[in-house]
Structure 1
Amino acid sequence: MRDLHRRGAPMSILFHVLAWLPLAVLQGLGAFAGWLLWVTSSSRKRVALRNIGRCMPELSEAEQRRIARASLGHEMKTYIETARVWLGPGGPVKNAVKEWRGIEVLERAFAQGKGVILLTLHQGAFEAVAIPMSANFPFYGLYKPQKGALNALSLKGRCRFGGRMVAAEAGVRKAALPLLAQGLGVYYMPDHDPPPGRGVFVPFMGVPAHTPTLIARLAQESGSPVVFMFGERLPWAGGYVAHYVEAPAGIHDPDVEKATAAMNQGLEQCVRDCPEQYWWGYKRFRRQPPGAPDFYRGA
């Protein structure tokens, strides 16, 4: 135990130091890290360009490159800002959210009394708006416990304003359904490639994407309304805007594939609203339908 404590101490110290740096400094460090990924022709740069080229072919090559470069910077800013969002002074962290755009969508969803499934994606500053939001709405984040100091730091940060975290060790569905039945909110990020057998291929940005069916099944079983959210990072360390978007009607379709496709439509709307801040460097299309060529070959 003593060895584990010693190994976790440097991480904890680093986070506590970063937490008290001004937002402008942290975002400057993130921008520099993103610039390094771009100028060194990193794999994330190549993947970002491939993803944007296939997902937004209507854009000129110059515009695709501009979005890809901005995306790398925003991804790195998110990583470096995390310490401040989790551990920084409470007042400035809350006040950094300058606008709650579409918050009435979330309020109407809770008013139904069936709980709320809140979906976000790897775009912009998702935790910078989600954690302050938990001061006003009863949300539970679903997570898989990690090893080391990062797990404890994340729990401390995500619960600092009243939010709660639930370890989904027996599965997200089993953890979420009782919470939704009590009229509470659950918070989840579905824009990832699930293990085989837990997803279907449905379009995302016009490209077949292996997408988790979890949300479609959860919405069907619970009857809970679904709301999308993302956090837009304002320029020059100006703070953030929280965006809330109603889900497409088809997300409660009894056909799991149709409901999952509707979920991706909602995610796509968020991406198109602010494409520069989506994490295009992630291999979202790594898994392809049987017989399809490797999406990232040559990237």
Structure 2
Amino acid sequence: MATLKSSIERLQSRAIVALWRVLSGWRPVSLWRLARLIGPLVRRFSQRERQVTQINLRQAYPELTEPAHWRLVQDSLVHSSATMLELGFAWLGDARRVSDAIQEVHGRELLDDARRHDQGVIVLAPHFGNWEVLNFWLSSHFPFTAMYEPPKLAALDPIIRRGRERQGASLVPTNPRGVAALLKALKRTEAIGILPDQEPGWDSGVFAPFFGRQAYTATLLPKLVARTEARVVTGVARRLPGRGFSIHFLAADERVYDSDERTSAAGVNASVETAIALDPAQYQWEYKRYRKTPEEAEQRPDWKHFRLYR
């Protein structure tokens, strides 16, 4: 049985890599056109993605009319399809073509100013637009370190790792050794990347508001800030349909610097909300951001650790 499973995984990996290699040569405009064809199919046949997107968007934008809500659901699934199709381009495409696809960069002065003052920079990189293009740009311009967790299909690991490291990024594991590497990078006044919208384990987060609902949020950031006095910015690669990408760096909500973990987590979520406002359809709404609940936390013996931010 294990041998059969391994064989299936190898075939899946080969098919995925073959697709990435083919799409790596496509232009962003062609990938966007393909996404517009695939998006409606995802909406029709992928019940899980459609339902989670609907639920999350109703939570975030309750004021939307029903037609406006459905348009946003449709647009979101098209953008999510585009992100998946663009992976081969970001990881395997000609580096000059990827660089040329980045049409604009806004807010770079936030990073440059921090480094002029001998401060490291923590880039909050939510799942918005194409975060792999953001990684490409950051690692092309700054010494850049980010955490990396190998994919479930082990055969994809070397391809993804090479793609993310090809412009000089340093990938570190999602464990205490990786956290130590992030601290060292910040103390060298370099830049690091953190995904602020992934749910952490029960031992490394707190509940804080995200679009009006309590979301379990990682507390790594206040620990890093407290030990390094790093500056925090939000960074995204916004898709310009049919043209390429626009990089945006935004000043983080000031609460991220608070020593109280719950206050800092609220600032992190507020910073993500500000980035999403650039174009709500480009956020990855099909991710179950509210998977962990305060009610579930209260059933745990150590539930006081998970008190709500109020």
TM-score if structure 2 supplies the norm length?
0.87
Confirm or deny: 8 A CA contact 2:134 2:235 kept in the other structure: no
Q: How do 1:90-109 residues align onto structure 2 when only pairs under 5 Å count?
A: 90-109=95-114
More off after superposition, 266-275 vs 139-148: 139-148
Amino acid in structure 1 at the alignment position of 2:170? R
More off after superposition, 60-69 vs 256-265: 60-69
Q: Which SS does the other structure have where 1:135 is aligned?
A: helix
Q: How do 1:198-237 residues align onto structure 2 when only pairs under 5 Å count?
A: 198-235=204-241, 237=242
- Asked if 1:290 is matched to 2:265, the reply is no
Q: What corresponds to 2:304 in structure 1?
A: none
- Asked if 1:264 is matched to 2:276, the reply is no
Q: Which SS does the other structure have where 1:273 is aligned?
A: coil
Q: What corresponds to 1:60 in structure 2?
A: 65
Confirm or deny: 8 A CA contact 1:11 1:149 kept in the other structure: no
Given the superposition, is the C-alpha separation of residues 47 and 145 from structure 1 closer, same or farther in structure 2, using an over 3 Å criterion? closer
Q: 1:154 aligns with which of 157, 160, 170?
A: 160
Superposed displacement of residue 30, structure 1: 2.4
Q: 2:79 aligns with which of 69, 74, 79?
A: 74
Superposed displacement of residue 287, structure 1: 1.4
Q: Which SS does the other structure have where 2:291 is aligned?
A: coil
Counterpart Cα distance in 2 of 1:4 and 1:203: 39
- Asked if 1:122 is matched to 2:159, the reply is no
Q: What corresponds to 2:303 in structure 1?
A: none
Counterpart Cα distance in 1 of 2:192 and 2:113: 16
Q: What corresponds to 2:305 in structure 1?
A: none
Superposed displacement of residue 157, structure 1: 1.2
More off after superposition, 138-147 vs 195-204: 138-147
Superposed displacement of residue 158, structure 1: 1.3
Q: 1:84 aligns with which of 76, 83, 89?
A: 89
Q: What corresponds to 1:248 in structure 2?
A: 253
Superposed displacement of residue 77, structure 1: 0.7
Q: What corresponds to 1:195 in structure 2?
A: 201
Given the superposition, is the C-alpha separation of residues 6 and 267 from structure 1 closer, same or farther in structure 2, using an over 3 Å criterion? closer
Q: What corresponds to 1:140 in structure 2?
A: 145
Superposed displacement of residue 109, structure 1: 2.1
Cα RMSD after superposing both structures: 2.3
Counterpart Cα distance in 2 of 1:7 and 1:70: 28
Amino acid in structure 2 at the alignment position of 1:114? Q
Sequence identity of aligned pairs in percent? 31
Amino acid in structure 2 at the alignment position of 1:181? K
Residues 27-72 of structure 1 deviation map (CA, whole Å, 9 limit, x = unaligned): 2232222211212362211111111111111222222211111111
Confirm or deny: 8 A CA contact 2:172 2:178 kept in the other structure: no
- Asked if 1:110 is matched to 2:115, the reply is yes
Q: What corresponds to 1:166 in structure 2?
A: 172
Confirm or deny: 8 A CA contact 1:144 1:169 kept in the other structure: no
Amino acid in structure 2 at the alignment position of 1:226? V
Counterpart Cα distance in 2 of 1:3 and 1:53: 38
Confirm or deny: 8 A CA contact 1:100 1:242 kept in the other structure: yes
Amino acid in structure 2 at the alignment position of 1:79? M
Counterpart Cα distance in 1 of 2:45 and 2:150: 34
Counterpart Cα distance in 2 of 1:172 and 1:62: 45
- Asked if 1:46 is matched to 2:58, the reply is no
Structure 1 unaligned regions, length at least 5: 293-299
Counterpart Cα distance in 1 of 2:214 and 2:13: 41
Q: What corresponds to 1:24 in structure 2?
A: 29
TM-score if structure 1 supplies the norm length?
0.90
Given the superposition, is the C-alpha separation of residues 4 and 66 from structure 1 closer, same or farther in structure 2, using an over 3 Å criterion? closer
Confirm or deny: 8 A CA contact 1:129 1:240 kept in the other structure: no
Structure ranking higher in helix proportion: 2
Confirm or deny: 8 A CA contact 2:146 2:182 kept in the other structure: no
- Asked if 1:280 is matched to 2:285, the reply is yes
Superposed displacement of residue 13, structure 1: 3.1
Confirm or deny: 8 A CA contact 2:126 2:195 kept in the other structure: yes
Counterpart Cα distance in 1 of 2:73 and 2:53: 6
Structure 2 unaligned regions, length at least 5: 1-5, 298-310
Counterpart Cα distance in 2 of 1:138 and 1:10: 33
Amino acid in structure 2 at the alignment position of 1:202? A
Amino acid in structure 2 at the alignment position of 1:173? V
Confirm or deny: 8 A CA contact 1:33 1:76 kept in the other structure: yes
Q: Number of residues paired by the alignment?
A: 291
Residues 276-295 of structure 1 deviation map (CA, whole Å, 9 limit, x = unaligned): 11111111111111279xxx
